[in-house]
Structure 1
Amino acid sequence: MSRFFDFIENNFVSISSFDKIQWMDIVEILLIAVFVYQFMLWIRNTRAYSLLKGILIVVLFIFIAYFLQMNTILWLVYNAGGYAITAVLIIFQPELRKALEELGHKKIVSSIIPFDSSKNENEGRYSDRTVNEIVRATFEMAEVKTGALIVIEEETVLNEFIRTGIALDSLISSQLLINIFEHNTPLHDGAVIVRGDRIIAATCYLPLSDNLSLNKNLGTRHRAGVGISEVSDSLTIIVSEETGRVSVARNGKLQVGLTKEELKDVLVEEQNKNNQEKQKHKSKLKLWKGLVKNEKKHD
């Protein structure tokens, strides 16, 4: 903690020297600003937000104690600061893990250096037939208030969650989906995960969202749907067992009360976006491989 106080003293003394600012300093400030902005967007709807406000109050109090030379308080901070930081890291390990996962989903590196996908070229794509079968099954279940949770895998591979369920690997059909979620059947509890045109697994367990902005009346099924969309780029369709309303979760957001046409539009939009991204990825991959080959020839 002594380094912390030295940092405060050295930097607050020299911060007025604006004439020495170089272009790299401006880049650093912009990067820090972007990081802080993204961090605040992520943390605002989690339980860590309350802790952050408490930490900011404590830091402000430490600044006051430092400038007023309250030596006893500074001694306590100096000796307990390291333990406090370790305790915060342990308590909020799930939130920190989620933040790193979300950073990975930004695709910062892959947008510059494309990688060969671990999936088959057509494995992650779903056809127009699959869109129609999912929409038909969803609204037939909604009509009779049969609860359902259908996760459509996108770029992020969901093997971690597939392993928690029962493997099926069956061609998707509306009747199969309805039978899976029928009451008192062995597979009705949990989520179905769809990859391309196939149902990969059923009765899968999903992480529950702890987003504080979600409606308190939402049940476990909706929180699971939002939860999987927070840790992956998947699209999740939820049918409420109580109301029969159809909802869609993606990117940590929940759309409630979709009509049949709206759900089809969402699926087609996602389908088109995936096809465009795959074409862009293939173009980048060809260009990158061509550059690598040219480098080898010159060597």
Structure 2
Amino acid sequence: MTFFWIWNFIKPAAEIFILWIGFYHILVFFEGTRAFQVLKGLSFLLLAFLGAQIVGLDVLSWLLTKFFAISIIAILIIFQQELRHGLARLGQQHLFNVTLEEAEIVAIIEEIASAVYKLSRQQVGCLIAVERETKLKNYIESGLNVDAQISSELIQSIFVPPSPLHDGGIITRGNRIVAASCLFPLSDNPNFAKIIGTRHRAAIGITEHTDALVVMVSEQSGEISVAADGRFIPVVNRERFVTILRDLLVGEGKKKR
């Protein structure tokens, strides 16, 4: 009798905990996709529904229940591509994030610096997105799988014409180039529309949607740029370039550890 009394007392809390854990893992699973922002909104809707249930707001609970059901159906229709790809990858998910030691990150930065400065001298355009916390699943799937160790030589071979992969950008994760010829979203910021080209807008665009760090070389001028958080960071020389990447990426690596 005591057991059932205790269970009835803790049952609502247990249900809320299980629902929240499940929804959290769904959010993590779809991080970096178009559906992610919608799912975040639904998580707040779920919290509102649970709060209404707890305090006994029956009419509000009923309305939220109907709205939640309609939203789920809409998601299944609108984001069917993301759901299909997500389910296909379900058995391939790693249970840990890629973490690198500081020395490894510095070595990667040197490889990238070597490549972009050689490409700059040749006025060969390039676009490199470095994945950080936000997963770049959608953008990776827009290109071709590479899965190779980051090296200056490989980066140059990808971008120097007539390489079939020179259009679009490459995406790195940890110490590997995971995809090439990827399509990045163009920035719709009106401040950039008339003063920069397509490659610049792509560099800014992906940093507006994610926390990726982007390195870009202009095909017209050979100018090297770094983009993060929807803005360009001035690069005056190679030393400054390495410092920018080191500040952003070494700090990120320490945070993950």
Q: TM-score, normalised by structure 2?
A: 0.60
For residues 167 and 123 of structure 1, the distance between their equivalents in structure 2, rounded to whole angstroms, comes to: 22
Q: 1:134 aligns with which of 107, 112, 116?
A: 112
Match of 1:148 among 105, 126, 134: 126
% identical aligned pairs? 37
Aligned length: 163
CA apart distance, 1:193: 0.2
Letter in 1 for 2:214: T
**1:213/1:201 Cα in 2 relative to 1: closer, same or farther (>3 Å)?**
same
Whole-angstrom distance in 2 between the partners of 1:149 and 1:258: 18
> What aligned pairs does 1:56-135 form with structure 2 within 5 A after superposition?
119-122=96-99, 127-135=105-113
Change (3 A) 1:123 1:129: closer
String of CA shifts for 1:139-194, please: whole Å, max 9, x gaps: 00001100000000000000110000000000010010001000121000000001
Instruction: Quote the Cα distance in structure 1 between the aligned partners of 2:100 and 2:142.
Output: 21
Match of 1:188 in 2: 166
Cα offset, 1:227, TM superposition: 0.3
Alignment of 1:1-20 (within 5 A): none
**1:258 to 1:273, Cα distance in 2 relative to 1, 3 A:** same
* SS class of match (2:194): coil
Query: Aligned equivalents of 1:122 and 1:158: distance in 2?
Result: 16
Partner of 1:57: none
* Counterparts of 1:248 and 1:174, CA distance in 2: 17
User: Which residue of structure 2 aligns with residue 238 of structure 1?
Assistant: 216
Change over 3 Å in CA distance of 1:253–1:118 after alignment to 2? farther
1:247 to 219, 225, 230: 225
Computed over aligned residues only, the root mean square deviation of the Cα atoms, in angstroms, reads 1.9
Counterpart position of 2:179: 201
Separation of aligned partners in 2, 1:250 and 1:230: 8
Closer, same or farther in 2 for the Cα pair 1:175/1:272, shift >3 Å? same
> Which residue identity lines up with residue 120 of structure 1 in the other structure?
N
**Counterpart in the other structure of 1:229:** 207
| Residue 119 (structure 1) shift | 4.1
Q: Aligned AA for 1:142?
A: S
Query: How far, CA to CA, are the matches of 1:167 and 1:124 in structure 2?
Result: 25
Q: What is the one-letter code of the residue matched to 2:204? A: V
- For 2:145, give the aligned amino acid: A
Q: Which has the larger radius of gyration?
A: 1
Q: 1:241 to 1:268 in 2, by over 3 A?
A: same
Match of 1:157 in 2: 135
1:211 lines up with 2:211 in the alignment: no
Amino acid of the structure 1 residue aligned with 2:212: S
Is the Cα–Cα contact under 8 Å of residues 99 and 256 in structure 2 kept in the other structure? no
Query: What's the TM-score, normalizing by structure 1?
Result: 0.52
Structure 2 gaps, min length 5: 1-93
> What is the CA distance between 1:122 and its match in structure 2?
2.0
Show CA shifts across 1:2-32 (max 9, x none).
xxxxxxxxxxxxxxxxxxxxxxxxxxxxxxx
Q: CA deviation at 1:276?
A: 3.0
Q: How many angstroms apart in 2 are the aligned matches of 1:246 and 1:151?
A: 14
Q: 1:192 to 1:157 in 2, by over 3 A?
A: same
Once residues 237 and 213 of structure 1 are traced to their aligned partners in structure 2, the CA distance between those partners, rounded to angstroms, is 20
Is the 2:207–2:230 Cα contact (8 Å) retained in structure 1? yes
Contact map agreement 1:236 1:248 (CA 8 A) in 2: yes
Contact 1:187 1:202 in 2 (8 A): yes
